[in-house]
Structure 1
Amino acid sequence: MFLIISHILQQIKEWDERHAVKTTTNLPIVGSPVQVIVLTVAYIIFVLKIGPYLMRNREPFNVKWLMQIYNVFQVFINLYLGVMGLRLLWVPDHHNPGCITSLPDTHRLKSFEGHMIYLYVFVKVTDYMDTIFFVLRKSFKQITFLHVYHHVLMVLSTTMVTHYYGTGGHQNLFGDVNAFVHVIMYSYYFLSALNPNIKTSKWKKFITKAQIVQFIIVIIHQLWPLLIVKECTYSKFLLLLNLSQAIVMLILFSKFYIKTYIKKNSKANQNISKKTT
């Protein structure tokens, strides 16, 4: 594992400086706000209205193998993003983790930064498939406000920030942490489909905890240049935007955790207690 990571990091160091890509604003999805808005509205309408309506009198589709291919894709693409993205957290001749700013167009890693950000945006769009699979399997109870809001927020925020502010910046850490969390999550989905015996609340509880921890990390990281490194030139508006959304997500995931794992366990223990008395 260490050899693989070492090899990947070596590849980053040797990134070809001759690449001339300086911006992603002319690429699909991030090239126009209209594209992502239309895509997102279509997603919301399909998963909340059209999909359930079309499936109301149908048997659930068997999409197990399609989902497994999707899970494997997500594991490897997020592992790639997580490991490769570490290089952008600390660029000695430009920034450090306490104040990450977008690299100038002339920087040797600018094309790499653009590549990583655009790939991350692409992966966030593919995350919409999660909900579409729920619709096809008629697992409508899993299409919660938290689930849909989370996916929509990630797609809109990443694409809009990339389009209007360019690539890179203090949100890089969140993208990196988020990628590693998704490696864990999709690995669980893949393994649980192969062996239903590992579908335990313990693993689901752990994944939810990982989600909560990532938002705590993001909150601290966004506060750092606001309170500690005040001379940081990264956009204060984006710092506040990232901070506010991280707080909202922390509240939503915490409420989900309390409702699903604390209150339910409390009720279950009370029922057991009543039966034994």
Structure 2
Amino acid sequence: MNLLHLYNYYVTECGDPRVKNWFLVQTPVPTLIIIGVYFVLIYKLLPLYMQNKEPFKLTKIIFFYNLFQIICSAVLVYNFTTPLSDPAFALKCDFFTYNDSPKAQKRLMLSYYFHLLKIVELFETVFFVLRKKFNQVSVLHVYHHVTTMMITWLFTKYFAGGVAAFSQMLNSFVHFFMYCYYLVASLGPVWQQKIVKWKSTLTILQIAQLFVSILHSSQLILNPNCGMPPFAFCVYGPNVAVVICMFANFYRQNYLKQKKQP
């Protein structure tokens, strides 16, 4: 079996037949192109463009971007959790299949929208560079955005729903509060001072969300009734563990060390 046949088998035949012709999900190529363009922009073209320019303020753009993210996160959480008697996520593994039931279709669409939202989030790095906030273009920031987008593509392509739905709902819930904080912070220094005490709490909330997600997804290995291969956890779990360590180091460097300083 040559490489072309292998590619066709894993991308076309093994994928969810329901998303076979969906925009940006058909193959990994668009995602890889987006990542490539993203790297070239944030590390080469935009820094070169900004080299002799004053930082852009982008106040209105960032305000409405944050508002957009708040609305999208709220809509996702609402759709994942309603009706409460039969939500689109599950605390325990419910058997995963490629069926056309209304609940399965809802999970599929939510996974797709969640993936598209992760692509939109790449603009945050562009904003940092245009504002010359180069310190915020950290390894944690870039790694987290890129790997999250890749994994959301993977789950939309192959396993939309199942344990992924819980992690997506939880992430959207945390992001609602995170972007509320960013929106208020975008109003200026006065408001930033009023809410600065919540900054470390947001990092703790992000770490807790990732920790709960990795525990929940471990059911893929522990529970054979999930209907999803353990391979899915082998991709998702280690990446989340790496991000938890990076966030924990960020918290230690930015909050614990500051408290120890006289």
Q: Within 5 Å, give how 1:18-57 maps onto structure 2.
A: 23-57=18-52
Q: Which has the greater radius of gyration?
A: 1
Alpha carbons of structure 1 residues 95 and 35: separation in structure 2 relative to 1, 3 Å: closer
State the partner residue of 1:152: 146
Tell me what 2:72 maps to.
Answer: 77
Say yes or no: does 1:114 pair with 2:114: no
The aligned counterpart of 1:3 is none
Inter-partner Cα distance in structure 2 for 1:230 and 1:109: 21
Tell me if 1:256 matches 2:250.
yes
1:55-204 equivalences under 5 Å are 55-87=50-82, 96-163=90-157, 165-200=158-193, 201-204=196-199
Q: Given the two structures, how large is their TM-score scaled by the length of structure 1?
A: 0.81
Question: What is the CA–CA distance in structure 2 between the aligned matches of 1:206 and 1:79, rounded to whole Å?
Answer: 20
1:265 is matched with: 259
**Does the CA-based 8 Å contact 1:89-1:173 persist in structure 2?**
no
Q: 2:46 & 2:224 partners in 1: Cα distance?
A: 48
Q: What's the offset of the Cα at 1:244? A: 1.3
TM-aligned CA deviation for residue 101 of structure 1: 4.2
- 1:37 partner amino acid: L
Q: Secondary structure at the residue paired with 2:175?
A: helix
Query: C-alpha deviations, 1:69-115, integer Å up to 9, x for none?
Result: 111000000111112112599859x9942114434423122322222
User: Unaligned stretches of 5+ in structure 1?
Assistant: 1-21, 270-277
User: Which residue pairs with 2:238 in the alignment?
Assistant: 244
CA RMSD of aligned residues (A): 2.4
Which amino acid is 1:246 matched to? Answer: V
* 1:192 Cα deviation from its structure 2 partner: 1.5
CA distance in 2, matches of 1:215, 1:96: 17
Identity of aligned residues (%): 29
Q: Is the 8 A contact 2:167 2:213 kept in 1?
A: yes
**Residue 3 (structure 2) aligns with:** none
> Which residue is equivalent to 1:17?
none
Contact 2:97 2:227 in 1 (8 A): no
Counterpart Cα distance in 2 of 1:168 and 1:174: 10
Conserved 8 A contact 2:74-2:172: yes
C-alpha distance in 1 between matches for 2:109 and 2:151 = 18
Deviations 1:140-177 (A, max 9, x none): 111000000000011111113322x1422211111111
The letter for the 2-side match of 1:171 is A
Supply the distance in 1 between the matched residues of 2:90 and 2:85 (Cα, whole angstroms).
4
Superposed structure 1 runs of 4+ greater than 6 Å apart: none
Aligned residues between the structures: 245
Distance 2:198 2:247 in 1: 16
Q: Quick one: distance in 2 between partners of 1:167 and 1:187?
A: 28
Q: 1:224 to 1:149 in 2, by over 3 A?
A: same
Q: Secondary structure at the match of 1:248?
A: helix
After TM superposition, the score normalised by the length of structure 2 is 0.86
